[in-house]
Amino acid sequence: MDGDVLFIDTVYNPEPGDFCKLNKYCPKGRYLLGQWHHCRDIFHVHLSNSDLFFFCHEKGKCNSIIEFMKKFESKLNLKEPSNFGPTQRKGILWIKPSKWWMRSSMRRSFLTILLRASFKYSISKDNFYESIFAEKYFSKTRYATEKFLLGYTKYTGKKRGWYKQFFQLHPSQKLIDVLLVKPTSD
């Protein structure tokens, strides 16, 4: 499935940065999409039991988004990385997320921000870190984001999303060191 073009039907006209879960698989190899969400905080909750979702982007950005995400996942040495590919709609790609992302609400929240950060990535410039920190939720939570990038991906707190925990509450570095720890196994 990785890289294959999936054929989709959607009654909505999504904007870049919108997310959508699969509604159902239809005969003749088409995927019927449900409601699109622009609010990533709402969507990451819906994402919890999904093994396939869709992401709207600017036309021509599919390959750079996929490259960016693969680069990120390789830095974390995921045993089973996500799969990505285009749809017949030039501004929508499909994502079969790694089970690693699905294990925690905080990771799913981080994933939705990361996908939006990928808009700034250019394969030719290889501006990976610049793209990450061009996204305001990462630039304003730099210490927590850098810890996550270094493999401190287990969240020990009670909040459900990156925005709420690290952007709104502005925790100290000491508290972030308690909230983000290295997982014992993944």
Lowest mean pLDDT among 26-30, 38-42, 114-118, 153-157: 26-30
Contact 84, 69 (CB under 8 A): yes
Highest mean pLDDT among 156-160, 165-169, 173-177, 182-186: 173-177
Cα–Cα distances in Å, from 82 out to 11, 13, 98, 105? 27, 26, 4, 17
pLDDT at 135: 96
pLDDT at 90: 94
181 phi, psi to nearest 5 deg: -125, 165
Please write the tens of the pLDDT for every residue from 63-75. 999 999 999 999 9
Helix or strand holding residue 106 (H, E): helix 105-117
149 confidence band (pLDDT: 50, 70, 90): very high
Q: Is the pLDDT of residue 28 over 80?
A: no
CB atoms within 10 A of CB 132: 23
Please write the tens of the pLDDT for every residue from 43-70. 988 888 889 999 999 999 999 999 999 9
* 46: exposed, middle or buried (Cβ count in 10 Å: 0-12, 13-18, 19+): middle
d(Cα 114, Cα 105) in Å, to the nearest integer?
Answer: 14
Q: Is the pLDDT of residue 1 over 60?
A: no
pLDDT at 2: 63
d(Cα 148, Cα 165) in Å, to the nearest integer?
Answer: 14
pLDDT, average across residues 154-179: 93
DSSP state of 4: P
The pairing of beta strand 53-56 with beta strand 19-26: antiparallel
CB atoms within 10 A of CB 12: 12
